[in-house]
Amino acid sequence: MDPTDLLPLLEQLDDNVDDLEAVLQPLLTSTLLKNSNKLPVMDKAKLHVLITYTLESLIFSYLRLHGVDAKQHPVFRELTRVKQYFEKIKALETEPEERPMTLDKGAASRFIKHGLAGNDKYDLERAEKQAKERARAQLKAAMFALKSIDATNGQPDSDDDDSEGGVDLATAAEPRVDTNHTEKTEKDSQKKSKGEHKLEDSKAKKERKINTAAMKEKKKERRLKKEEARKARKAQ
């Protein structure tokens, strides 16, 4: 290889080393314990795994440069083990699929009946309730039959109609309970939390873009200074 071709590669290597020093500066100025204590649990796990992977990769590269078969070295097994932790963290960060929150009323009723089976008091109350419901249904059927007969004969009984109508109106006026209100509230709260997470992610992306742009500007400044230094050395 022509020595002149090595100069751009060396310049790129120098720039990459400068970028690496700038990135690692927060970690090198203090201990790992102090840096990790300020982070959430998930970020703390990422930091420890990344540092371990970086150190193992450096050892692997060092062995390769010295002609050692690094794949037969124990460090290769350590690299494989650390990669498994990356997969575990990725699995934890992936949101599970949303499942519809529905209540199986039939199953719930069966569970309750099975749990209360053998309770004499409950069985007696249930039998009385069923008997009352049957008697009420028979009474309504008889009253409906009388009402239809009166309507056919043209002799409607106003009192009976009022009383029956009162019962019907009272029954019809009973407010209906919106059973889906709780589910709607939970879904709304979930949507709200997701919106907040998306907003935080967008803010973090904007900050990363700003930091990347700043690093690029610093990199350009360093290159200009290095070029000026080279020109000065050549002029001498």
Whether 98 shows a pLDDT value over 70: the answer reads no
Q: Is the pLDDT of residue 80 over 80?
A: yes
Instruction: Check whether 232 has a pLDDT greater than 50.
Output: yes
What is the pLDDT at residue 180?
A: 58
C-alpha dist (Å) from residue 184 to 103, 142, 189, 191, 233: 14, 43, 9, 10, 73
Q: Regarding predicted confidence, which is higher, 220 or 189?
A: 220
pLDDT at 63: 93
Tokens 């019907």 correspond to what residue?
168
pLDDT in tens, 193-222: 666 767 777 777 787 778 777 777 877 787
Domain residue spans in the chain? 14-94, 108-149
Contact 113, 126 (CB under 8 A): no
19: left (phi over 0), alpha (psi -120 to 50) or beta: alpha
Residue 165's region, left for phi above 0, alpha for psi from -120 to 50, else beta, is alpha
Q: What is the pTM of this model?
A: 0.42
47 CB-near residues (< 8 Å, 6+ apart) = 32, 35, 36, 39
Question: Which pLDDT score, from 0 to 100, does residue 130 have?
Answer: 83
- Tens digit of each residue's pLDDT (9 = 90 or more) over 132-186: 888 888 888 888 888 877 777 665 444 444 444 444 444 444 445 455 556 666 6
DSSP-assigned letter for residue 70: G
